[in-house]
Amino acid sequence: MAQVREIRAAVVLAALVAPLPADAGTLTARVTAADGTPVPTAIVTAMPAGQSAIPAKAGTKAVMVQEGKQFLPFVLPVQVGTTVEFPNRDPFRHQVYSFAPAKTFELKLYGSSVIGNVTFDKEGVVPLGCNIHDNMLAYVYVVGTPYFAATAESGETRLDALPAGNYAVKVWHPNQRAGQGDAGTIQVSATGTVNVEVKLDLKRNRTQRKPGAIDEKDY
């Protein structure tokens, strides 16, 4: 639940950078696995029809914490152009990296006195790792729309303040099989709510493993 709360906090922060239209609709989404169980931490996006990637407002930030040899949250959705800070709250150093086409980077070995940051300027999935702790795994999911949210433990979420129009709705989760998550195009009216349900066929659970028994020394 803590990870889901942190994701929701990041989503709320992103939503605050754009003015809310006076008349807007709502999209609610429910994401389940093939067996009907709810899927938490799935990212639901709504892209205005006919638009290319919409950059975030200048100065938009999000946070991916390193604490207890873990990344928090496990999945961090951000809008294109967002700068993500990587504070280290452990008493030992981390070295965060990614080889993803959407963003290849490496934050050299650093402790709590430095806050590494990276600006994500291309849409896509960016898996994260730590060169010091192999158990650490997380994802930055970079989207080209300001309308996105993560599902809760119930597998449900909602996107508010959608201006009237057509939207391409997609769902992404790190465990889903390729070729899934496209919920099609939906029409949102100036008032009212549109409901969407999506089923995902999930692969083996890919999450952070529990921290190993490395004998860390405080720096």
* pLDDT tens digits in sequence order for the chain, 219 residues long: 444 444 444 443 444 344 445 578 999 999 999 999 999 999 999 999 999 999 999 999 999 999 999 999 999 999 999 999 999 999 999 999 999 999 999 999 999 999 999 999 999 999 999 999 999 999 999 999 999 999 999 999 999 999 999 999 999 999 999 889 999 999 999 988 999 999 999 987 766 666 654 545 554
- pLDDT number for residue 20: 45
Phi/psi class of residue 128: alpha, beta or left (left: φ > 0; alpha: ψ in -120 to 50)?
Answer: beta
- pLDDT number for residue 206: 61
Residue 176 belongs to domain with CATH number: 2.60.40.10
pTM of the model: 0.84
Q: Does residue 3 lie within any of the structural domains?
A: no
- pLDDT number for residue 10: 42
Cβ pair 152, 75 in contact under 8 A? no
- pLDDT number for residue 87: 97
Which string of DSSP letters, residue by residue, matches 27-48?
EEEEEEETTS-B-TTPEEEEEE
- pLDDT number for residue 207: 62
- pLDDT number for residue 22: 55
Distances (CA, A) of 190 to 25, 35, 162: 5, 35, 8
Query: Does residue 156 share a domain with residue 138?
Result: no
- pLDDT number for residue 24: 87
- pLDDT number for residue 211: 63
Query: Does residue 131 share a domain with residue 171?
Result: no
Residue 215 buriedness (CB in 10 A; 0-12 / 13-18 / 19+): exposed
In a 13 Å sphere around the CA of 33, the CA atoms on its Cβ side amount to: 15
- pLDDT number for residue 191: 87
Q: Does residue 208 lie within any of the structural domains?
A: no
- pLDDT number for residue 155: 98
Phi/psi class of residue 9: alpha, beta or left (left: φ > 0; alpha: ψ in -120 to 50)?
Answer: alpha
Q: Which residues pair with 96 in a beta bridge?
A: 130
Query: Does residue 153 share a domain with residue 93?
Result: no
Cβ pair 83, 60 in contact under 8 A? yes
Give the domain range for residue 185. 22-51+147-200
Q: What ranges make up the beta strands (E) of the chain?
A: 25-33, 43-48, 61-63, 65-67, 70-72, 75-79, 82-86, 96-100, 103-106, 116-120, 124-130, 138-143, 148-150, 156-162, 165-172, 182-188, 193-200
